[in-house]
Structure formats: structure tokens, C-alpha cells
Amino acid sequence: MNSKTLTSISLGTPKRILRLDASASPGDSSSRKLGSYLLRQLEQGAPAIETRVRDLNTGLSFIDSNWIAANFTASDERDVKQSARLAFSDELIAELNWAEHIILTTPMYNFGVPATLKTWIDLICRAGVTFRYGADGAEGLLKGKRIDIVITTGGAPLDSPVDFVSGYLKQVFKFIGIEDINIIGADQMNVDGEASFATAISQIEQTYPAIAA
């Protein structure tokens, strides 16, 4: 491979970003707004970006006994119905595999993650696909990726005893092999929303300084 080819690859290959949004509120959602800001900063700081977006409020359904049975059947022994039952989960996992960088935005709902996000987690945590069990216990299989997790709350402080969002999400993503985890928090939005939002914006700008035009 000559140097010209190398240059064209390094400048021409877009960074693959997957954006996942969990808030049930579409338009004026604070977590979604922060996710858009983060994405803009990334777009300005990188030569090229390819983005895929998935709204977790659309199209996800709970795992059930048929799904579990299909998942616990070896892939070469599944019947047509079982393969079909896992097809959407396969699609979600393919998206994760495709992405180099993930942006997840989520509010806190009742001290935890929204049910939509938990549903997505149940669909993407699959033994032999996103993690495996070996002699040393579980090993995550989605290596070399980064995730920014934007979390908003109304009254609960992040990292407090009533925050069952940030620690849980860190555990889930480490479990599937994503070790590079950055949490951006706009917590206690009902106490001083402007200040919380500004703190999160400044955290984003420090993490991803935009290149001045």
C-alpha cells in the first residue's frame, strides 16, 4: 500500500457514530438536545462522520419465552421461526458492531433507565454474540469502542444513592466489552435547569473542542 492510498483512507473514511435516544419526550427533551449538541461538536472536530440514529421509543418489544428459547438454541440449530424471532436483535447488534463511537442519551425515570432502554439492553446482551463465558468468567466481545452517555434527571443527583442509572449503564457497557465510557450529566434539572444544562454543555465542549471555522 503506497502513502497516497494511506492518506486517502485516513482522510476519507468517515468515523462511524451510532446515536441512541431513550427519552419518551421527542421535541424538547433535554437529553436529546444535549445529544445533538455533542454530535455537532464531534462533526466539527472530525474530518468526516457517518451517523446512524435509533430512537429507542420506536419498534422495540420485550423479550419473551420464545425469544429466550431461540437465543439459547445454538445458531446452527435454530428453526426458521427462531431465527426470525432474533432478527431484530441481530439488527440492533449489527448496528453496535458497525459503530466505532456510540452516543446514548437518556433521562432518569423512577430512579432507573426508561423501560425502552432496558428493553434495548435485554435485546443486545447475548451470550456468544456480545459477550461470552470463559475460564475467567464473562468477557465482553464489543472491543475498541467508545461511548458517551448523556443522562438527565429532575431532582436526583448523579452518583448519589438514588442514582440507579449511571452505575448500571457503566456495568452493562463494560459487560459487553465497551470500556471507554464517558458520562455527561445534566442532573437536578428541576433545581436549576439552566445551570445543569450549562454544566453538561461545558463538559461536552471540554471533551470535544470544536475546530474553529
CA neighbor of 207 nearest in space, from 144, 148, 143, 145: 148
17, 19, 20, 30: which one contacts ligand FMN (CB under 6 A)? 30
Rounded Cα distance between 72 and 74, Å, is 6
Which residue type is seen at 2? N
49, 54, 97, 154: which one contacts ligand FMN (CB under 6 A)? 154
* Residue 195: C-alpha distances to residues 24, 30, 69, 142 (Å): 23, 13, 48, 35
Establish if 82 lies at the interface with ligand FMN (CB under 6 A). Answer: no
In the window 175-194, what residues touch ligand FMN (CB under 6 A)? 189
Stretch of 1-9, 57-65, 106-114, 167-175 contacting ligand FMN, by CB under 6 A: 106-114
Rounded Cα distance between 165 and 184, Å, is 12
As measured in angstroms, the least distance from the Cβ of 55 to ligand FMN is: 12
Locate 97 and state its grid cell.
Answer: 458492531
Establish if 107 lies at the interface with ligand FMN (CB under 6 A). Answer: yes
Q: For residue 169, give the DSSP letter.
A: H
Q: Please, which residues have CB within 8 angstroms of residue 97's CB and are 6 or more apart in sequence?
A: 142
108, 169, 181, 204: which one contacts ligand FMN (CB under 6 A)? 108
Establish if 109 lies at the interface with ligand FMN (CB under 6 A). Answer: yes
Would you tell me which residues interact with ligand FMN (CB under 6 A)? 23, 25, 29-32, 107-111, 152-156, 189
